Structure 1
Amino acid sequence: MPSIRRQRDLKAAAALIAVGGLSACATAYHLPRQHGRAAGVASQAGTLSDAGLARYVADMDPAMLALARRHDPRPHKDYWGRVKGWEVIDIATIPTLGDTVPDFEDARLINAYRLPAPLPIEAARPFVLKASGEERARALHCLSQAVYFEAGFEPADGQAAVAQTVLNRLRHPGYPKSICGVIYEGSLRSTGCQFSFTCDGSLERAVSPALWNQAEAVARRALSGFVMKDVGVATHYHADYVSPYWAPTLVKLRQVGTHIFYRWTGPAGTLAAFKGRYAGGETKISADTLMGADPRTLEAAPPEVLAQTLSQTLGGPAPAAALKDARIVVIPDVAAPGGERLKIEGTVAGRRIATPEE
C-alpha cells in the first residue's frame, strides 16, 4: 500500500494538474466530466491562487512535484532540466548545445557517439568529364583545389573521398551543374561559402608543389571515372575534431581519414536522386580567382597571356615586362556580370596603379 505521504502527494499532483487545465487526475466516471473538479481543488488547496498552491505543495515529494509541473501548460521559465540551448525551438537561429563550442577532444567524443547508419552504402555511378580545352582545364583545376585545400595532408583514400563528394553534389538536383560551380558556390555571398577554402583566405597562401601534384592526380582520376565507393553518395563531410550543428540532421555514412561523410535523409539521399547532368560553364568562374590558389599558375602562364589580361583590365596596352610587381585580384561586386570584377594591385613598370577614382 502506498504511504500516507505518497497518497497525499498524488492528490497534490492531481490538484496542480487540474489547475493547469489537464485531464490527468483521477475522476469519478459515473459523474459528468470535470464535475466538481474546481471545488475539489479549492477545498484541498484552500485557494486556486499560485500562493495557495505553493503552500500546498511545499512539502511534496520532488519527483511528484516535477511530474505535476511538467504537465502544467501555463507560461513558465522552468524547462525541467532540458539540455541547455534546446529549452525552446527558435528556427530563426542556429541551435547549439550550450554557450561554448566543443574543443577538439570533446568534438571527437561527440562524433564517436554518433554511430554510422546500419544501412548499405550505395556507390555512386562513374563520372567521366566530357569537356575539353579551357573548360576541362578549369574543371580539373577547381577539383584539384578542393582536394588540396580540404584534404591535402590526408591519405589517398581521404583525398579521393573529397573528390567524390564534389562529383556527388554536381549530380544532385540541389547543387550547380559544373565542377567549379559546386566548389565556389556561395563564395561571393554574405550567406557563406560551401567550401571554406574559397572564402577564408586560403587561396592567398603558397602551396606545396609536391602536394599539389598529388591532389591534381587524384582529381584527374576522379574526372576519368574512378568511384570512391566507401562514401557512397555523400554530399557533406566535416573533420572529426569539429561538431557542426547540421551533423545530426543527416545520415552518417563512415569516416575516411579525419573526415566524416554524410548523405541526405530519405529519397534525396538515395542513388536514384542523383540524376543531374553536367552542364559545363567552368569558365564563368573568374580565371584569376582560380589561379590564386596556385602561384605557379601565374608564373608558368605565357607572358603574352598575362599582358593581354592586364591590358583588358587597364583599358590599354601593358607590356609583359610590366607584370613583375602587379597582380590581379577578384572583388565581389553585385553590379558586375557574374557578381565579381577584376582589380589590379601593385605597380606597373615601377609606378603604382591608379584607382578608378584617380
Structure 2
Amino acid sequence: MSRNPSNPTRAIAGLAVTAVAVASLAACAPPGKKPAAPQARLASAHLSVDQLQKLAAGADPAQLGITPAAPPANGLPIPANAEAVGADALKINASRPFAAEPILPMRPFLLKTDAADRERAVHCLTQAIYYEAAREPLKGQQAVAQVVLNRVRHPAYPKTVCGVVYQGASLATGCQFTFTCDGALRWRPETDLWDRAEGVARKALAGYVDKDVGSATHYHAAYVAPYWAPTLVKMTQVGQHIFYRWTGAWGEPAAFTGRYSGREAMLTPAVLASAPEALPPEPRKVTLTLGGEARTYQVADAAASADQPAAGTIHAARRAPTPDEVRKINASLAAMEARMNGGAVLAQNTASPTGSSTGGR
C-alpha cells in the first residue's frame, strides 16, 4: 500500500534490481501459489509508462511482452520505507495503540461516467483489490476498495480511480500501491480470485460503503512497520491490514471534498511519477468552556481581516503589546481592583447590621 503519505519519493539510483517492501498481503505473490512467508520481493525492472498505461486499461501482460519477475529471494535488505519487517514489525505495530476516536462512515461513492471510463475504473480498482488483498476475507477486500475511493475524494490525490491506484508507479520507490512497482503486474491474475475482486470493485463503485475503515487513506500489512505509521491516526485492523487516516481535520469525512474528474484513460506520466500533494497546515484551534458548555473556535491569522468575522472564529490581535504596554495595562488593572476592593470594604463598615438595636426610648 502507500509508502509515502506526504514525503517526496526516494529514488535509489544505479541499481538494476530494487528491493521493495511488501506492504500488500503475502497472498499477492504469483497467483496460483500459496502465500509464502512474508518477505520482500525482488522486482527485476520497472515497467515503462506506456506499459503501465496499457495495463491500467486492461491489457494482457503477455501481449505487452512483459515476462514474470524473478521469484522471491531471501536475504534482501530491509527497504528504506520500513522501520522493520517480520517479527520485529509485529512487535512495533502491537505497541502502537489504536485511536479512541469513533470511526465515521463516508458518503457512498456513486460512479457517474460513460461506459469506457466505468470499465477502466472497474479494472483499476479490481487490480488494487486483487494484488493487495487477493486472499483476504471479503471484509478485507472491501476495506481496500474503500481506501482507494477515499483517496479519489481527498484533496491530496488524483481525481480518478486509475490515477489513485497508479500514482507514482513509474518511480523506483514512489508508488502508492506496492503492486504497481514491485513486479507483481508481470503475473497474470488467477481467474477465480480476479472475478471475486471485480465483484467487490463493482459494488464499491455502485455506492457500497465499508464502515469499518471510515475515512482511512492508508494501510499496511501487519508484518511491516512503515516509517510513516506514527505520523497518522491508527484506526483499526481488518484481516492482515492495519488502516490509518490523516490527523486532525484532514482525516475527517468533511475534508473529502474532491470530485471525480473522469477521463480514466488520461494516466499521464505526471501522475505515474507523482507523490501525494503536500497538505496545507491545519488551522490552530482553542476550546473554551463557559457555564459547563465547551465550544471549539478556530484562531484566525493575525494578518487576516476582522471586518467581517466568521462564526466560530477568534481573531487574534494584529500585533503583540510591548513589555512597557503590558506593565501599564497591569498597573491600570491593579489600581482598578484596589479601588473596587476599597469601596467594598467602606460600604461594609458603614452599613447597619440587620436587626441591630439603636437604643430604647
Normalising to structure 1: TM-score of the pair?
A: 0.52
Q: For residue 249 of structure 2, what is the amino acid of its counterpart? A: P
Q: Check 1:144–1:92 CA distance in 2 against 1; reply closer, same or farther (3 A cut).
A: closer
1:173 aligns with 2:155: yes
State TM-score, norm by structure 2. 0.52
Residue matched to 1:262: 244
Cα distance in structure 1, aligned partners of 2:9 and 2:211: 37
Is the alpha carbon distance of 1:275 and 1:108 closer, same or farther for their aligned partners in structure 2, counting shifts above 3 Å?
same
Q: CA deviation at 1:101?
A: 5.2
Q: Residue 142 in 1 paired to residue 127 in 2?
A: no
Query: How far does the alpha carbon of each residue in 1:226-284 deviate from its partner, in whole angstroms, 9 at most, with x for none?
Result: 00000010000000000001000000000000000000001101111001110012011
Query: Is 1:253 aligned to 2:235, yes or no?
Result: yes
Change over 3 Å in CA distance of 1:198–1:127 after alignment to 2: same
Return the offset for 1:143: 0.1
Query: Given the alignment, which residue of 186, 193, 200 partners 2:182?
Result: 200
Q: Work out the CA distance in 1 between the residues paired with 2:240 and 2:173.
A: 26
Choose which of 91, 110, 115 in structure 1 pairs with 2:92.
Answer: 110
Aligned residue type for 1:227: V
- 1:200 and 1:166 mapped to 2: Cα distance? 19
1:131 aligns with 2:118: no
Cross-structure match for 1:15: none
| CA 112–160 in structure 1, closer or farther in 2 if over 3 Å, else same | same
AA partner of residue 195 (structure 1): F
Q: By percentage of residues, which structure has more helix? A: 1
The 2-side partners of 1:108 and 1:155 are apart by: 20
- 1:222 aligns to 2:226 (yes or no): no
What is residue 10 of structure 1 aligned with on the other side?
A: none
Which residue of 128, 134, 146 corresponds with 1:164? Answer: 146
Deviation, structure 1 residue 109: 1.4
Secondary structure at 2:265's aligned position in 1? helix
In 2, Cα distance between the equivalents of 1:239 and 1:129?
Answer: 28
Query: Is the 2:9–2:173 contact (alpha carbons within 8 Å) kept by the matching residues of 1?
Result: no
1:92-135 per-position Cα deviation (integer Å, ceiling 9, x unaligned): 99xx9x9x953411211111111110001111110010012111
Provide the secondary structure at the position in 2 that maps to 1:192. Answer: coil
Deviation at 1:199, TM superposition (A): 1.1
SS at 1:187 equivalent = coil
Asked which structure has the greater CA Rg, the reply is 1
Q: Report SS of the residue matched to 1:268.
A: helix
1:186 corresponds to which of 141, 144, 168? 168
Q: Distance in 2 between matches of 1:189 and 1:162?
A: 22
CA deviations over 1:45-96 (Å, ceiling 9, x no partner)? xxxxxxxxxxxxxxxxxxxxxxxxxxxxxxxxxxxxxxxxxxxxxx999xx9
Unaligned 5+ segments in structure 2 are: 1-7, 11-77, 274-361
**For residue 276 of structure 2, what is the aligned residue in structure 1?**
none
Please give the alpha-carbon distance, in whole angstroms, between the structure 2 residues aligned to 1:277 and 1:211. 31
- Give the superposition deviation at 1:190: 4.9
- Letter matched to residue 280 of structure 1: G
Higher relative contact order (CA 8 A, sep 6+): 2
Equivalent residues of 2:153, 2:256 under 8 A apart: yes
Matches within 5 A, 1:1-358: 102-190=84-172, 192-285=174-267
Structure 1 position 189, deviation (Å): 3.3
How far residue 285 of structure 1 moved from its aligned partner, in angstroms, is: 2.8
| Identity across the alignment (%) | 57
Conserved? CA contact 2:167–2:272, under 8 Å? no
User: Which runs of no fewer than 5 residues in structure 1 stay unpaired?
Assistant: 1-90, 287-331, 340-358
CA distance in 2, matches of 1:103, 1:220: 33
Classify 1:107/1:276 alpha carbon distance in 2 versus 1 (closer, same or farther; 3 Å). Answer: same
Aligned-residue offset at 1:191: 5.4
Contact 1:284 1:338 (8 Å CA) reproduced = no
CA deviation map 1:175-229 (0-9, x unaligned):
0000000001111235511111111111110211000000000000000000000
Corresponding residue number in structure 2 for 1:305: none
**Count of residue pairs brought into register by the alignment:** 198
Q: Using the alignment, how far apart are the partners of 1:160 and 1:111 within structure 2?
A: 22
Distance 1:338 1:263, change over 3 A: closer
Please give the per-residue CA displacement for 1:13-41, whole angstroms capped at 9, x wherever unaligned: xxxxxxxxxxxxxxxxxxxxxxxxxxxxx
Letter in 2 for 1:241: Y
Query: Structure 2 counterpart of 1:199, which letter?
Result: C
**2:170 touches 2:272 (CA, 8 Å); kept in 1?**
no
